[in-house]
Chains A and B, each alone.
Chain A
Amino acid sequence: MATATFEPRIVAFFCNWCTYTASDLAGTARLAYEPNAPVIRVMCSGRVDPQFVLKAFEQGADGVLVGGCHPGDCHYQEGNYKALRRFRLLKRVLTQFGVDDERVRLEWISASEGDRVQHVVNEMTNQLRRLGPWQQARS
């Protein structure tokens, strides 16, 4: 049961070239947003191993946000397409594991879209506040 005081912990994997730069831009532009999504910088959204997403949940995260370059804009040509395919397949597996749809999100955010980082993090944080914590099964 979600309570008014529940603050979700979101692990954000942002690609170096687009979304991480966008979050930097949000900072320099003094766009305030929820502090619930500490960012892990990866070189490419294609570097986000599905194990990282599961590990985040296993370690107590309530949601995982992956940010990459728009299709066609990948610094490594194909990385974000791989991320998209992995994400779509992972989503199907996570649904079978009972992980709510809102807990895992992939967003294309270019280096100029600082306001988009603000919007996505705020929106996801609010959704997870309503949804409540992820309850990880213990072995």
Chain B
Amino acid sequence: MADKPKVAFYWCASCGGCEEAVVDLNETILTVVGAVDIVLWPVAMDFKKHDIEAMPDQSIAVAFINGAVRMSEQEEWVHLLRRKAQMVVAFGSCAHLGGIPGLANLNTGAEVFDTCYRDVQSVENTAGTRPQLKFVIDDHTLALPEFFDSVKSLDQVIDVDYYLPGCAPPADLIWGAIQAILTGALPPKGAVLSPNKAACDVCPRKDSKPDKIEIAEIKRVATHIADPETCFLAQGFVCMGPATRSGCGSRCVEGNMPCRGCFGPMDEVYDQGAKFLSAFASILSPKDEAGIERLLDQIPDPAGTFYRFSLPTSLLHRRKSGVPV
């Protein structure tokens, strides 16, 4: 038992889907559990922070951390795990790029609180109560972690060795990464553990893509039913395939949903949203300003669409503070 490499799983600002993804290994997980010693996994096992604090530094072989960093507690945890682990893997889109929680970077922390504790219709909060960092009641002091103004990807907080992309990472990539770690057959530090090719390159609908795409009307899955065989872009749907890394197994496309970009950009791209914007704008058909504007009106939330998973790691990171939405 003592000789097996120690592995930690931790979650930050995430939905739990990455935990599901580990369980999706099915029977393979028994092989994993046989090969390693899991020392932390909040969703499944009862280990506490002090258990990890008591371990010698560098004694954990690898820490898989999913979720974005949104609160001070998560920041403390990832610093602790970085200290205790020889290797840190950013697991899933949120740790890799900021992910869906990162869309909150189009708002400030205070605006998020206003929405959650004041504006949503199911909230009645006439006293205007907001979460406080400290609250004293009957001589007891209660404390909550700080809710940051910005959501951060894992590598914006600690040094990250490898990235497992995806919302959530598919089982074959996870298993491949675990095998590579156990056997030491790893690429250079900083690598994303998925092929550096665009999703379009391996798309099952690749052959239906015409030589030249021209979009005269933008369609949305909420209002249009997509043909299940034809290239989404050729049909006028926003499909992030051209600016998204492959390795996902085209799961969304197989479910007749356009790519939303969860695997993030290829190695050569430093801003996924801008790169997709560039590709997409070039295949729109209008040439006059009025026609272009009319077409662009059909994309209600361009920043949220193009940066759905990567806003915190975009070049601008967030909406400028103090500018109204």
A54 — nearest CB in chain B belongs to which residue? B315
B156 CB–A CB distance under 8 Å: yes
Say how far B198's CB is from chain A's closest CB, in angstroms.
16
- Determine whether the beta carbon of A51 is less than 8 Å from that of B274: yes
Chain B residues with Cβ below 8 Å from A33 are: none
In the complex, A135→B320 CA distance in Å? 7
- Determine whether the beta carbon of B296 is less than 8 Å from that of A97: no
- Determine whether the beta carbon of A97 is less than 8 Å from that of B316: yes
B282 CB–A CB distance under 8 Å: yes
Chain B residues with Cβ below 8 Å from A135 are: 320-321
B153 — nearest CB in chain A belongs to which residue? A139
B270 CB–A CB distance under 8 Å: yes
A27 CB–B CB distance under 8 Å: no
In the complex, A55→B270 CA distance in Å? 9
Counting chain A CB atoms within 10 Å of each CB, the highest count among B275, B315, B317, B320 belongs to: B315
- Determine whether the beta carbon of B292 is less than 8 Å from that of A49: no
Say how far A124's CB is from chain B's closest CB, in angstroms.
19
A93 CB–B CB distance under 8 Å: yes
Counting chain B CB atoms within 10 Å of each CB, the highest count among A53, A88, A90, A93 belongs to: A93
- Determine whether the beta carbon of B320 is less than 8 Å from that of A98: yes
Q: A85-B281, A93-B277 are in contact. Are A51 and B289 (CB under 8 A)?
A: no
Chain A residues with Cβ below 8 Å from B277 are: 50, 86, 89-90, 93
Q: 1/0 per position for B129-167, CB-CB distance to A under 8 A?
A: 000000000000000000000101100100000000000
- Determine whether the beta carbon of B319 is less than 8 Å from that of A89: no
In the complex, A94→B266 CA distance in Å? 23
Q: 1/0 per position for A71-89, CB-CB distance to B under 8 A?
A: 1000000000110111011
Q: 1/0 per position for B289-325, CB-CB distance to A under 8 A?
A: 1001100100101111010000011111111111100
In the complex, A67→B63 CA distance in Å? 49
In the complex, A58→B313 CA distance in Å? 12
B85 CB–A CB distance under 8 Å: no
Say how far B279's CB is from chain A's closest CB, in angstroms.
9
In the complex, A137→B269 CA distance in Å? 20
Partner of A97, one of B275, B287, B292, B319: B319
Partner of A54, one of B274, B293, B296: B274
- Determine whether the beta carbon of B281 is less than 8 Å from that of A58: no
- Determine whether the beta carbon of B315 is less than 8 Å from that of A89: no
- Determine whether the beta carbon of B303 is less than 8 Å from that of A93: yes
Say how far B297's CB is from chain A's closest CB, in angstroms.
9
Q: 1/0 per position for B250-271, CB-CB distance to A under 8 A?
A: 0000000000000000000111
A138 CB–B CB distance under 8 Å: yes
B319 — nearest CB in chain A belongs to which residue? A98
In the complex, A96→B313 CA distance in Å? 16
- Determine whether the beta carbon of B278 is less than 8 Å from that of A49: yes
In the complex, A78→B322 CA distance in Å? 39
- Determine whether the beta carbon of A139 is less than 8 Å from that of B317: yes
B237 CB–A CB distance under 8 Å: no
Q: A54-B315, A55-B270 are in contact. Are A85 and B292 (CB under 8 A)?
A: yes
Chain A residues with Cβ below 8 Å from B292 are: 84-85, 88
- Determine whether the beta carbon of A51 is less than 8 Å from that of B152: no
Partner of B280, one of A49, A54, A81, A89: A89
Chain B residues with Cβ below 8 Å from A54 are: 271, 274, 314-316
B213 CB–A CB distance under 8 Å: no
Partner of B275, one of A49, A82, A93, A96: A49
Q: A51-B271, A97-B320 are in contact. Are A85 and B150 (CB under 8 A)?
A: no
Q: Enumerate the 10 nearest inter-chain pairs by beta-carbon distance, A residue then B residue, closest first.
A: A98-B323, A98-B320, A96-B303, A54-B315, A50-B274, A85-B281, A86-B281, A139-B156, A98-B319, A58-B315
Provide 25 A-B residue pairs closer than 8 Å at the C-beta atoms, listed in order of the A residue.
A49-B278, A50-B271, A51-B269, A51-B278, A71-B287, A82-B281, A84-B287, A85-B281, A86-B281, A88-B293, A89-B281, A90-B274, A92-B299, A92-B302, A93-B273, A93-B274, A93-B303, A96-B319, A98-B322, A100-B323, A137-B316, A137-B317, A137-B318, A137-B321, A139-B153
Residues on B lying within 8 angstroms of A by beta carbon are 106, 150, 152-153, 156, 269-271, 273-275, 277-278, 280-282, 284, 286-289, 292-293, 296, 299, 301-304, 306, 312-323
Residues on A lying within 8 angstroms of B by beta carbon are 46, 49-51, 53-55, 57-58, 71, 81-82, 84-86, 88-90, 92-93, 96-100, 135-139
